[in-house]
Amino acid sequence: MEAHTTSAAVLDELRRRPADRRRILFTGATVVTMDPGLGVIDGGDVLVEGDTITAVGRDLDAGDAVAVDATGTILTPGFVDTHRHAWETQLRRIMPDVDDLGGYVMATLASYATVYRPEDMYTGTRLAALTAIDSGITTLLDFSHNSRTREHSDAAIEALRDTGIRGVHASMGPHFGDWDRQWPGDLTRIKDQYFSSDDQLLTLRLATLATDEIAGPALTYGTGPARVAADLGIAVSVDAVFGASSSEAVLRWAEDGILSPDVTLIHATGLTPEAWKAMGETGTTVALAPTSDAQIGLETAIPAVDEALSAGIRPGLSIDVEVALASDMFSQMRALHAIQRMRAVNAAYGTDEQPSRITTHDVLDFATLQGARTNGLSGVTGSLTPGKKADLLVIEAEALNNMPLNDPIGTIVLGSDARNISAVLIDGEPRKWDGRVLDVDLTALRAQVHASREYVLNTPAA
Ligand SMILES: [Zn+2]
């Protein structure tokens, strides 16, 4: 059969076949592969078989595949979020003009977090993941730092699982209040129970803080947590928001041999050149959070993109918290693109120097391929490369706000938003189709979100 991308008939046809025997051929699209070897293919085809991309090119012959006419669209890999605190999502925009990190910490981690029940973890995390899918984020690293009991962890993991997103559960204990002190010991059980296969949508990481200023030594990265992660065979995400003390910590970790590509530093604002050098030399990955750095004002308030690139590190991007920030990757790409170019031109202003400016291709690379690398999933997702899992977006290039299509990467980064994403596949499975997230009862979800919000906001902090 032949039908346009968004037609309901195509979805019906796909869902009639067992997932592992499905074959979908998208035809005639502008394919922005983000694979350095494949580039952009005009009038291109993408073949998806089961959960995998098996061919990318022109005039592919795919026999009995369900053919989807993707003319007038851009096919691109799904975005990869390298750090978000998904449990806080029912607290969306409660503090849009928060003054600083302290204001955020006292209002959320030191108060609302302490009254969260497992069902609140579930509701917030599920809402974050569904919204991510709607806006084209197919991989979400959930820095889940409110694991007060085993049940809190279970709820966060099950919420990711139930949405069908490619989820990375990064587990950390809470900063404040009473909790079971089951973390990180409980990670052994969590791994056995939820992460037994190497070929599944969900992966596990250890989440820690760079320094002990906010929560004391129990949650701080060092040789102890590094050993826990190594014993479990998992990677580590480290939240690094204090420049001076984080820099000292980075140098200590380098000396201790616990920096590697399996360690991600988040934020990394205000770090010293020596710390960046140590990170570059060890292949440490970096998750920038452009809007939280700039808007909340973390340390220098400047997303450390120039510093990362100078150290030879191409960073991933992240959303961080929805209590104060936008939910989608378009906002991150645009903020970073504008901020870095402003910074470069400003530094060169009045001199003869040529400002070194990043491009729309750079930020899309950060939001896809580099995000996948940062999350330890470079062989799995982040580009439309044969052999990778089929995590892809169909973007309407001839919509009111995108026509006429002149530059596909510019159109994705500067022109598009969630409304232009007509379809999202994750692991070959349609999760958004015809402009709607599938398999969600919005009325029931809304009731859950409101009930949880009321409970959390009206219960005195423990
Ligand atoms: Zn964070």
Distance 267 CA to ligand 1 centre (A): 8
Q: How many CA atoms lie within 13 A of 95 on its CB side?
A: 18
Closest CA to 208 of 197, 189, 222, 227: 222
Closest CA to 201 of 10, 375, 327: 375
Please report where in the chains the tokens 């402003």 appear, as a residue: 342
Distance 452 CA to ligand 1 centre (A): 22
Distance 165 CA to ligand 1 centre (A): 20
- Helical H runs in 116-242? 118-134, 150-163, 187-194, 223-232
How high is the pLDDT of residue 450?
Answer: 98
How high is the pLDDT of residue 171?
Answer: 98
Distance 138 CA to ligand 1 centre (A): 19
Distance 56 CA to ligand 1 centre (A): 36
> DSSP 3-state helix, strand, coil percentages of the chain (rounded to 5)?
40, 20, 35
Distance 424 CA to ligand 1 centre (A): 26
Distance 291 CA to ligand 1 centre (A): 11
Distance 163 CA to ligand 1 centre (A): 22
How high is the pLDDT of residue 63?
Answer: 87
How high is the pLDDT of residue 336?
Answer: 98
How high is the pLDDT of residue 2?
Answer: 47
Distance 127 CA to ligand 1 centre (A): 18
How high is the pLDDT of residue 461?
Answer: 86
Distance 320 CA to ligand 1 centre (A): 5
How high is the pLDDT of residue 4?
Answer: 58
Q: Which residues, including other chains, have CB under 8 Å from residue 359's CB and lie 6 or more apart?
A: none
Distance 332 CA to ligand 1 centre (A): 14
Please report where in the chains the tokens 């995590």 appear, as a residue: 391
Query: How far is residue 443's CA from residue 462's CA, in Å, rounded to a whole number?
Result: 31
- How far from 296 is each of 278, 328, 335, 389, 415, CA to CA, in Å? 27, 17, 13, 35, 25
Distance 404 CA to ligand 1 centre (A): 38
How high is the pLDDT of residue 5?
Answer: 60
**Rounded (10°) CA dihedral 74, 337, 90, 122:** 60
Instruction: Print pLDDT tens along the chain (462 aa).
Output: 444 566 888 899 888 888 888 999 999 999 999 999 999 999 999 999 999 999 999 999 888 899 999 999 999 999 999 999 999 999 999 999 998 999 999 999 999 999 999 999 999 999 999 999 999 999 999 999 999 999 999 999 999 999 999 999 999 999 999 999 999 999 999 999 999 998 899 999 999 999 999 988 999 999 999 999 999 999 999 999 999 999 999 999 999 999 999 999 999 999 999 999 999 999 999 999 999 999 998 889 999 999 999 999 999 999 999 999 999 999 999 999 999 999 999 999 999 999 999 999 999 999 999 999 999 999 999 999 999 999 999 999 999 999 999 999 999 999 999 999 999 999 999 999 999 999 999 999 999 999 999 999 999 987
How high is the pLDDT of residue 1?
Answer: 43
Distance 266 CA to ligand 1 centre (A): 7
Distance 84 CA to ligand 1 centre (A): 6
Does the pTM surpass 0.95? The reply is yes
Closest CA to 51 of 212, 164, 176: 164
Kind of pairing between the strands at 2-4 and 66-69: parallel
Distance 220 CA to ligand 1 centre (A): 14
Distance 292 CA to ligand 1 centre (A): 8
Distance 169 CA to ligand 1 centre (A): 14
Query: At 208, which helix (H) or strand (E)?
Result: strand 203-209
Q: What are phi and psi of 43, to 5 degrees?
A: 60, 45
Distance 156 CA to ligand 1 centre (A): 16
Distance 83 CA to ligand 1 centre (A): 7
Q: Which residues, including other chains, have CB under 8 Å from residue 362's CB and lie 6 or more apart?
A: none
Distance 226 CA to ligand 1 centre (A): 20
DSSP string for 331-386: HHHHHHHHHHHHHHHHHHTTSSPPP----HHHHHHIIIIIHHHHTT-TTTSSS--T
